[in-house]
Amino acid sequence: MDAFINFLYAAIISATPLLFGTLGEIITEKVGNLNLGVEGMMWLGAFSGFYVAFKTDSLLLSLVASFAFAALGAALYAFLTITLRANQNVTGLTLTTFGIGIAKVLGYAMTSVTKQPQISDSLNQKVSALNLPFLTNIPYVGKLLFNYNILVYFAVILSVLFYLYFKHTKRGLNVRAVGENPAAADAAGINVTVQKYIHVILGGGICGIGGAYMSLISGNGTWHSGGVVNGYGWIAVALVIFASWNPARAIVGSLIFGMFASLQNYVPASVVTLPTPIYQMLPFLLTTIVLIITSIRKSKENQQPASCGLNYFREER
Amino acid sequence: MIANGTRTHEPLVRIAKRRERSRAELILLRAAAFLLAIVAGGAFIALLGHSPIEVYAEIFKGAFAGNKRDPLSAVKQTLVFFVPLIVTSLGLSLAFRMKFWNIGGEGQIIMGGIFATIFALYSTDNPGAIPSFILLPLMFVAGALGGGLMALLPAIFKIKFGTNETLFTLMLNYIALYFLKYLVSGPWQRTPGFASIGNFDKSARMWEIGGFHASLLVAAALVIFVHFYIKKSKQGYEISVVGESQPTARYAGMNVGKIILRTMFLSGAICGMVGMIKVSSTYTLTEGITGGVGFTGITVAWLSQFNALGMVLVSLLFAILQKGSSVMQTSLGLSADASNVLQGIILFSFLGTEFFTRYKFVFKKNNSKEKE
């Protein structure tokens, strides 16, 4: 039982940055923009979040910075794809190259041969596991529910809020209309351009917080220029498919990915021994299968927003 | 178009289609984009406290200036970056012309590398069993087959079930990557504890002609092939028609499914050749086989608007940036990743100016009754 609790606990810790990235990309794709720049935006957030944490010692400022810097990258993408109608795939990929480049160059400038930049102990304390009086001490449940760092709760709450937003509010419905059929949304009086800008930038910023999670928590508060984000942005793009564009399912989806990522440390060698790369491959294999099955069943519910990847030009209606 | 006399609120700025620009105008526009990128990149470098001119000069020097023993050493290394990039772009451009989003270049390169390595390992275990002039062509065909089959998979599902190819090919990249990691740290591992399969036997190494890899010739041949395939062949024409409009292609009696399968196989096969070129030039198969060219190639192909000569120029530019930046890191202490930033800035400014080839901004006139 203890081993299982530990396993779930580790899975949730490693799933959280994925949840931020996935949620950000879902919000972006809901307005019909496929942004392949998630990895780049997470790097931008990872750097800026780390830098501000390092300089100011404030968790709040660090998170704001990570959101803002990644949102800036998303704004560039938004300007190019929405106003200037550049190809979404190419612009997103460029944002990835650019974002990784910026983060590594600035990170390199901050690092010296003798000293790896590291956040202070007091800040480290703030992002470490909560210890609530009474609640955390409940056997099993305490560890499983009340013993995470604060960002884990933030990610889950944010996902639930966006689930409700898309499912139950008029505004959310309008946003979905933009992604499904921008021409019809436009005709219905929804300002397509404004909605696209808002959600692409918002989504990018949330990806950035996921990046800050990786540099502050997953990276133990030290800047490793080799790989802070380490491909998690790409996994998030895959997870969007797995979650079938649903923020609530993104919670479950990222948890499953997190479980696969932690699985190899917890499966006793006597039960089954799979090589590490095979464990790492499983989530992608699963995602591909989900992608194929939804396309075979042609289920309208679980598909990508219909206009995703295509730019909208009113005069070409 | 807003009809005269209606009370529609006219925005301050709106966007309209423009007449096609002349060739000279297009070239000028691209030159302006490049200039903009140089200036923006320079501003970024200056912000970091370096002199832009010094950094640019160092990158250029690093890409071309060799040492005393071999004046061409830097050029050779720049070409090592260039060849995989141009070949990948050529392969991907075929699929893109058809509006089939092959994001799977990475996976196709990896599969090509794995298929080619099967023969290279056999020859390494049995030295002399296959002479080099048979082995290398064999590896080449194997690589093409590996990449082609990898690309065929999403094409089949696209035709049968309409499965989204962007996402499918993206997923196949990871599946291929982890399969590769499994091979080099498992069944093909030669040094315990290291994800290494050791060096290939001499017979499996890329031929060198005057110190240059023969793969340069392969790249040149492919540039010419893709150019004429697209411009002059019936199959190339079919690709363009399917890309323009599938219903039109069907109406003209074309077998759209067959064209998609054939083109995707060819696209993946050319990417697979990159895998073969990489393993035979580095004498081994590693996790870093692609160097990210599967992704960079997408942007190169798109920027060049699938024009073969354009892809040569852009690939060359990116190769110079990459090689030059690696030298600059040691000499000036600015991270080599600056090449990624500069590359991004160049791409962004090209993507941005692309808009002005097709559209124009129309500003609201003071007298709103005035006609267009």
Same domain, B32 and B163: no
pLDDT band at B372 (very low <50, low <70, confident <90, very high): very low
Residue B236 and residue B316 in contact, taking contact as beta carbons nearer than 8 Å: no
A146 by Cβ neighbours in 10 Å (0-12 / 13-18 / 19+) ranks as middle
- In total, chain A counts a number of residues equal to 317
Contact check, Cβ <8 Å, A34/B166:
yes
| Nearest beta carbon to residue A94 from set B166, B351, B355 | B351
Preferred mutation among A43, A90, A95, A287 to probe B, highest tally of B CBs within 10 A: A90
Per the structure, the complete domain to which residue B30 belongs is given by: 12-50+334-364
| Nearest beta carbon to residue B171 from set A101, A238, A304 | A238
Nearest CA in chain A to B170: A238
Q: Is residue B234 part of a domain?
A: yes
Same domain, B147 and B18: no
Higher pLDDT pick, B141 / B5: B141
- The 10s digit of each residue's pLDDT in B172-186 is 998 999 999 999 988
Nearest to B324 by CA among B309, B312, B313, B340: B340
Predicted pLDDT at A67: 97
Contact check, Cβ <8 Å, A93/B161:
no
Residue where the block lists tokens 């124009």: B360
Nearest to B347 by CA among B308, B300, B315: B300
Provide the token pair at B106: 């990475």
> CB within 8 A of A157, min separation 6: which ones?
none
> CB within 8 A of B358, min separation 6: which ones?
A85, B17, B18
Same domain, B216 and B346: no
Whether B288 has its CB under 8 Å from any CB of chain A: the answer is no
**Count of alpha carbons within 13 Å of A39, Cβ hemisphere only?**
21
Nearest to A99 by CA among A30, A26, A155, A48: A48
Predicted pLDDT at B5: 47
| Nearest beta carbon to residue B185 from set A80, A89, A275 | A275
Same domain, B219 and B274: yes
Neighbour tally for A192: CB within 10 Å: 23
Same domain, B287 and B273: yes
- The 10s digit of each residue's pLDDT in B324-346 is 888 888 888 888 888 889 989 99
Contact check, Cβ <8 Å, A275/B182:
yes
Contact check, Cβ <8 Å, A291/B16:
no
Cα B90 to Cα B94, B267, B272, B274, distances in angstroms: 7, 8, 12, 11
Whether A236 has its CB under 8 Å from any CB of chain B: the answer is no
Whether A281 has its CB under 8 Å from any CB of chain B: the answer is yes
Whether B334 has its CB under 8 Å from any CB of chain A: the answer is yes
Residue B240 and residue B94 in contact, taking contact as beta carbons nearer than 8 Å: no
pTM of the model: 0.86
Instruction: Give the separation between CA A264 and CA A243, rounded to whole angstroms.
Output: 23
Residue B274 and residue B95 in contact, taking contact as beta carbons nearer than 8 Å: no
Please name the residues between 47 and 106 in chain A that touch chain B, using a CB distance below 8 Å. Answer: 76, 80, 83-87, 89-91, 93-102, 104-106
Predicted pLDDT at A254: 92
Q: Is residue B20 part of a domain?
A: yes
Contacts of A234 in chain B (CB under 8 A): 170, 174
Provide the token pair at B166: 């962007």
> What residue type is B294 in one-letter code?
G
Cα B198 to Cα A108, B120, B121, B189, B276, distances in angstroms: 32, 11, 9, 8, 16
| Nearest beta carbon to residue A105 from set B1, B299, B337 | B337
Same domain, B347 and B249: no
* Angle subtended by helix axes A150-168 and A170-180, to nearest 10: 80
Distance from CA of B191 to the nearest CA of A (A): 17
Whether the predicted pLDDT of B147 surpasses 60: yes
Instruction: Give the separation between CA B294 and CA B311, rounded to whole angstroms.
Output: 14
Distance from CA of A33 to the nearest CA of B (A): 13
Distance from CA of B358 to the nearest CA of A (A): 10
CA angle A164, A169, A172 (to 5 degrees): 85
Same domain, B318 and B189: yes
Q: Is residue B371 part of a domain?
A: no
Same domain, B293 and B151: yes
Contacts of A94 in chain B (CB under 8 A): 299, 344, 347-348, 351
For chain A, give the longest Cα–Cα distance: 65
Predicted pLDDT at A316: 67
Nearest to A264 by CA among A256, A273, A255: A273
* Ranges A167-181, B194-208, B357-371, most confident: A167-181
Predicted pLDDT at B156: 96
Provide the token pair at A161: 């809020």
Instruction: Give the separation between CA A255 and CA A276, rounded to whole angstroms.
Output: 19
Please name the residues between 17 and 36 in chain A that touch chain B, using a CB distance below 8 Å. Answer: 34, 36
Predicted pLDDT at A226: 64
> What residue type is B356 in one-letter code?
F
Predicted pLDDT at B2: 45
Q: Is residue B161 part of a domain?
A: yes
Please name the residues between 210 and 249 in chain B that touch chain A, using a CB distance below 8 Å. Answer: none
The domains found in chain A, sorted by start residue, are 2-312 (1.10.3470)
Same domain, B46 and B82: no
Contact check, Cβ <8 Å, A86/B17:
no
A84-93, A293-302, B154-163, B308-317: least confidently modelled range: A293-302
Three-state DSSP class for residue B363 = strand
A121 by Cβ neighbours in 10 Å (0-12 / 13-18 / 19+) ranks as exposed
Whether B339 has its CB under 8 Å from any CB of chain A: the answer is yes
| Nearest beta carbon to residue A241 from set B1, B167, B343 | B167
Q: Is residue B24 part of a domain?
A: yes
Contact check, Cβ <8 Å, B16/A80:
no
For every residue of B268-319, DSSP letters joined together read HHHHHHHHHHHHHHHSS--TTTTTTHHHHHHHHHHHTTT-HHHHHHHHHHHH
Distance from CA of B337 to the nearest CA of A (A): 5
Contact check, Cβ <8 Å, A101/B164:
no
Nearest CA in chain A to B345: A98
Q: Is residue B5 part of a domain?
A: no
Contact check, Cβ <8 Å, A89/B157:
no
Domains: count for chain B: 2
Three-state DSSP class for residue B324 = helix
Distance from CA of B76 to the nearest CA of A (A): 25
Contact check, Cβ <8 Å, B15/A278:
no
Predicted pLDDT at A309: 79
Q: To the nearest whole percent, how much of chain B has pLDDT over 70?
A: 95
Neighbour tally for A123: CB within 10 Å: 19
Q: Which one-letter DSSP state was computed for residue B21?
A: P
| Nearest beta carbon to residue A90 from set B17, B298, B342 | B298
Instruction: Give the separation between CA B213 and CA B79, rounded to whole angstroms.
Output: 9
Distance from CA of B253 to the nearest CA of A (A): 27
Q: Which one-letter DSSP state was computed for residue B82?
A: H
Instruction: Give the separation between CA A223 and CA A119, rounded to whole angstroms.
Output: 9
Nearest to B307 by CA among B86, B112, B102: B86
Q: pLDDT 10s digit of each residue in chain A, 317 long?
A: 778 888 888 889 889 999 999 999 999 999 999 999 999 999 999 999 999 998 898 899 999 999 999 999 999 999 999 999 898 988 998 999 999 999 999 988 887 666 778 888 888 777 777 777 777 777 777 777 777 888 999 999 999 999 999 999 999 999 999 999 998 999 888 999 999 999 999 999 999 999 999 999 887 778 876 667 877 898 898 889 888 899 999 999 999 888 887 777 777 766 677 788 888 888 788 888 888 888 888 766 667 888 887 888 776 65
Residue A47 and residue A106 in contact, taking contact as beta carbons nearer than 8 Å: yes
Neighbour tally for B329: CB within 10 Å: 17
Whether A278 has its CB under 8 Å from any CB of chain B: the answer is yes
**Count of alpha carbons within 13 Å of B349, Cβ hemisphere only?**
18
Provide the token pair at A62: 């660090």
Residue B36 and residue B340 in contact, taking contact as beta carbons nearer than 8 Å: no
Residue B39 and residue B178 in contact, taking contact as beta carbons nearer than 8 Å: no
Instruction: Give the separation between CA A51 and CA A64, rounded to whole angstroms.
Output: 12
The β-bridge relationship of strands B13-17 and B359-363 is: antiparallel
Contact check, Cβ <8 Å, B344/A304:
no
Three-state DSSP class for residue B209 = strand
| Nearest beta carbon to residue A93 from set B179, B295, B352 | B295
Higher pLDDT pick, B371 / A220: A220
Same domain, B97 and B18: no
Contacts of A99 in chain B (CB under 8 A): 344
Same domain, B179 and B39: no
Provide the token pair at B156: 């089949």
Whether B29 has its CB under 8 Å from any CB of chain A: the answer is no
Helix H or strand E encompassing A177: helix A170-180
Whether A273 has its CB under 8 Å from any CB of chain B: the answer is no
Cα B80 to Cα A155, B84, B221, distances in angstroms: 44, 7, 17
Whether the predicted pLDDT of B10 surpasses 50: yes
- Taking the alpha carbons at both ends of chain A, their separation in whole angstroms is 59
| Nearest beta carbon to residue A291 from set B103, B164, B342 | B164
Q: In sequence order, what are the beta bridge partners of A103?
A: none
Same domain, B248 and B353: no
Q: Is residue B297 part of a domain?
A: yes
Residue B24 and residue B357 in contact, taking contact as beta carbons nearer than 8 Å: no
The β-bridge relationship of strands B13-17 and B208-209 is: unpaired
Whether A113 has its CB under 8 Å from any CB of chain B: the answer is no
Whether B15 has its CB under 8 Å from any CB of chain A: the answer is yes
Instruction: Give the separation between CA B65 and CA B197, rounded to whole angstroms.
Output: 33
Q: Which one-letter DSSP state was computed for residue A215?
A: I
Q: Is residue B96 part of a domain?
A: yes
Residue B94 and residue B266 in contact, taking contact as beta carbons nearer than 8 Å: yes
- The 10s digit of each residue's pLDDT in B243-298 is 888 888 998 889 999 999 999 999 999 999 999 999 999 999 998 898 889 989 99
A118-122, B186-190, B214-218: least confidently modelled range: A118-122
Q: What share of chain B is helix, strand, coil (3-state, %, to 5)?
A: 70, 5, 25
Neighbour tally for A273: CB within 10 Å: 9
Cβ–Cβ pairs < 8 A, chains A and B: 155
Predicted pLDDT at B371: 43
Whether the predicted pLDDT of B7 surpasses 70: no
φ, ψ for residue B128, nearest 5 deg = 85, -5
Cα A283 to Cα A248, A254, A255, A258, B105, distances in angstroms: 18, 10, 11, 9, 20
Domain containing residue B82: CATH number: 1.10.3470
| Nearest beta carbon to residue B175 from set A89, A275, A288 | A288
- The 10s digit of each residue's pLDDT in B64-120 is 887 777 778 888 889 999 999 999 999 999 999 998 989 999 999 999 999 999 999
